[in-house]
């Protein structure tokens, strides 16, 4: 009952021409896929162009970040309303690169989440533990903290617009994917936590994506896990063939 989502986070890659070239290749490669929600997140400067190219296709647009305020003296920032205006369905927030490289804290991420919910945009909310936290036995505490504070004050109704992406930091860009069992363990914990913080309906309706070195060779295994509802893909989303193969994963069974 949860529609799988495969989302490509292009991070800081690709010019306008390269971005439009990538989606132009991707469109026919995923055109027959009616069962998966397919999303791409280009850099801000390519959003408008990519929106134009994917119009009428089954690919949706996401932004990689936003600022929580609607307008004002916030040099260099982009608001939820502007992202909606350019054609975004979703906005990624809480990515570990934002947390680690730009010092974003749970409270600020929560401010973005609330602003996006009010603006009527979908949210791809990223969480995940570092290797140190995992090895120190703090993984579940970290995930709990990120969810409790990151989604604070979002109502059960607003949770319908939230997709959670579990991205263990040690698996991002390292080629070390979490095993199917490790992903399932974290996802099951997250779902149980949603039942505790909200209710069973929210827990069973919320999609939980896995992210961290997802490739054509490991997506099928990950998707066999009952609580893995899709993937947030970095490096492999920069290549149309690879990303199409991931989006066209072979369903379990």
| Positions in the binding site for ligand 13P (CB under 6 A) | 9, 95, 167, 172-173, 211-214, 232-236
User: Which of 97, 129, 133, 167 is flagged as catalytic?
Assistant: 167
| CB of residue 92 to ligand 13P, shortest distance in Å | 7
Please say which residue, 120 or 173, places its beta carbon nearer to ligand 13P.
Answer: 173
What is the Cα–Cα distance from 221 to 187, expressed in whole angstroms?
A: 15
Please say which residue, 39 or 202, places its beta carbon nearer to ligand 13P.
Answer: 39
Please say which residue, 68 or 234, places its beta carbon nearer to ligand 13P.
Answer: 234
| CB of residue 97 to ligand 13P, shortest distance in Å | 7
> Can you give the length of the chain in residues?
253
> CB count, 10 Å around CB of 133?
18
**Residue 187 annotated as catalytic:** no
**Residue 107 annotated as catalytic:** no
State both tokens at 10: 């292009």
Question: Which residues, in sequence order, are CB contacts of 71 under 8 Å at separation 6+?
Answer: 79
Please say which residue, 122 or 235, places its beta carbon nearer to ligand 13P.
Answer: 235
| CB of residue 195 to ligand 13P, shortest distance in Å | 26
User: Which of 37, 95, 104, 187 is flagged as catalytic?
Assistant: 95
Over the range 1-34, which residues count as b (16 or more CB within 10 Å of their CB) and which as e?
A: eeebbbbbbbbebbeeeebbebbeebbeebeebe
| CB of residue 165 to ligand 13P, shortest distance in Å | 7
Q: How far apart are the first and last CA of the chain?
A: 16
By annotation, the residues acting in catalysis are 95, 167
């Amino acid at each position: 009952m949860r529609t799988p989502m495969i989302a490509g986070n292009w991070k800081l890659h690709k010019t306008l021409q390269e971005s439009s070239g990538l989606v132009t290749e991707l469109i026919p490669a995923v055109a027959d896929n009616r069962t998966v929600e397919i999303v791409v997140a280009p850099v801000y400067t390519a959003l408008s162009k990519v929106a134009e190219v994917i119009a009428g296709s089954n690919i949706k647009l996401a932004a990689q970040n936003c600022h929580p305020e609607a307008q004002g003296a916030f040099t260099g920032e982009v608001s939820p309303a502007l992202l909606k205006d350019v054609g975004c369905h979703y906005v990624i927030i809480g990515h570990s690169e934002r947390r680690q490289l730009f010092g974003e804290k749970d409270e600020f991420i929560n401010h973005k989440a609330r602003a996006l919910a009010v603006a009527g945009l979908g949210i791809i909310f990223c969480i995940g533990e570092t290797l140190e936290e995992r090895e120190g036995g703090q993984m579940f505490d970290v995930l709990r903290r990120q969810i409790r504070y990151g989604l604070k004050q979002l109502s059960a109704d607003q949770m319908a617009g939230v997709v959670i992406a579990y991205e263990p930091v040690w698996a991002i860009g390292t080629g070390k994917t979490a095993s199917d069992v490790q992903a399932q363990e974290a996802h099951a914990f997250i779902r149980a936590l949603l039942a505790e913080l909200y209710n069973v309906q929210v827990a069973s309706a919320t999609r939980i994506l896995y992210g961290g070195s997802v490739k054509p060779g490991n997506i099928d295994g990950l998707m066999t896990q009952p609580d893995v509802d899709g993937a947030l893909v970095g490096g492999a989303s920069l290549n149309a063939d690879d990303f199409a193969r991931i989006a066209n994963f072979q369903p379990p069974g």
